[in-house]
């Protein structure tokens, strides 16, 4: 599976500009015929949390239509990062996944809200798992702060996930944490980690970029720098099965004693 990560700068609080930039990037990336595209977190709005009531996408309808059409046009799977989705119960930070036919393949709302950036004041936490399937490959979606919760990640890999797709707006001062946490999640779960961060800055933060793909041994397949970039890498799912058979972590678990 060839995967391209769209490490974009994001216009603060300007969905129209962000849709246009995302469409340009998706069309450019899709021209190389990858199997899957991944976008960053909150790519339609950035962290303009105080204005989400006005600029969040009602029920994610606009993003769903936009991504479905592009996935169908290019015959590419798209893990559409995450967007602010306005629902009757509040606003969620939600990831939408579409397959090559432009059909919904999964949906996940960020479970762990990041208090340091005041997410808990403006967003509602998700209540469901991030499991989905693309091209018959079991996958899971995670959003930014989620990677600091290994017990949550293990819920998905214990149920068969072989690829973890991570969308993020991870700040530059904690770049070392970003890299260490992603590598750790790959090693301990014996899976691929495909992580797309944003680049650029907003009024309060500078973001790290450094999107990357990591294999089940914890080796980096490819890694972006800090600026905007389309980063592509190929993953071999047979490696997941080989690693899991060599070091049988999942067979040797004793979850009855982990409570």
Residues known to be catalytic = 41, 110, 144
Distance, CA of 178 to chain centre: 13
Instruction: Tokens for 136, please give them.
Output: 């018959």
Give CA–CA dist 18/4, Å, rounded: 18
End-to-end CA distance of the chain: 37
Sheet containing 192-196: which strands, arranged edge to edge?
131-134, 137-143, 163-167, 192-196, 212-214, 220-223
Sequence-separated (6 or more) residues with CB below 8 Å from residue 65: none
For residue 10, give the nearest of 199, 171, 168, 175 by alpha carbon: 199
For residue 86, give the nearest of 115, 49, 130 by alpha carbon: 49
Segment holding 105, helix H or strand E: strand 104-109
For residue 232, give the nearest of 8, 34, 27, 31 by alpha carbon: 34
Give CA–CA dist 81/64, Å, rounded: 12
Bridge-partner residues for 108, per DSSP? 95
- Coil, strand, or helix at residue 71? helix
């Amino acid at each position: 599976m060839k995967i391209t990560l769209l490490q974009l700068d994001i216009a603060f609080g300007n969905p129209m500009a962000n849709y246009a930039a995302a469409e340009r990037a998706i069309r450019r990336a899709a021209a190389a015929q990858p199997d899957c595209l991944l976008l960053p977190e909150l790519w339609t709005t950035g962290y303009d949390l105080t204005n989400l009531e006005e600029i969040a996408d009602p029920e994610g309808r606009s993003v769903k239509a936009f991504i479905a059409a592009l996935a169908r046009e290019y015959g590419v799977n798209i893990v559409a990062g995450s967007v602010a989705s306005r629902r009757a119960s509040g606003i969620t930070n939600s990831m939408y996944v579409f397959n090559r036919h432009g059909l919904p393949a999964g949906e996940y709302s960020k479970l762990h809200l990041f208090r340091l950036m005041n997410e808990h004041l403006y967003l509602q936490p998700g209540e469901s798992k991030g499991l989905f399937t693309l091209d018959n490959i079991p996958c899971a979606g995670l959003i930014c702060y989620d990677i600091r919760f290994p017990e949550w990640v293990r819920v998905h890999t214990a149920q068969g996930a072989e690829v973890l797709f991570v969308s993020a707006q991870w700040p530059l001062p904690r770049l070392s944490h970003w890299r260490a946490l992603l590598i750790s999640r790959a090693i301990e779960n014996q899976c691929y980690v495909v992580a797309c961060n944003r680049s650029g800055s907003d009024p309060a933060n500078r973001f790290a970029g450094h999107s990357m793909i990591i294999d089940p041994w914890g080796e980096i397949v490819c890694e972006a720098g800090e600026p905007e970039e389309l980063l592509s890498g190929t993953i071999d799912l047979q490696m997941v099965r080989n690693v899991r058979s060599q070091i049988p972590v999942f067979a040797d678990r004793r979850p009855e004693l982990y409570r």
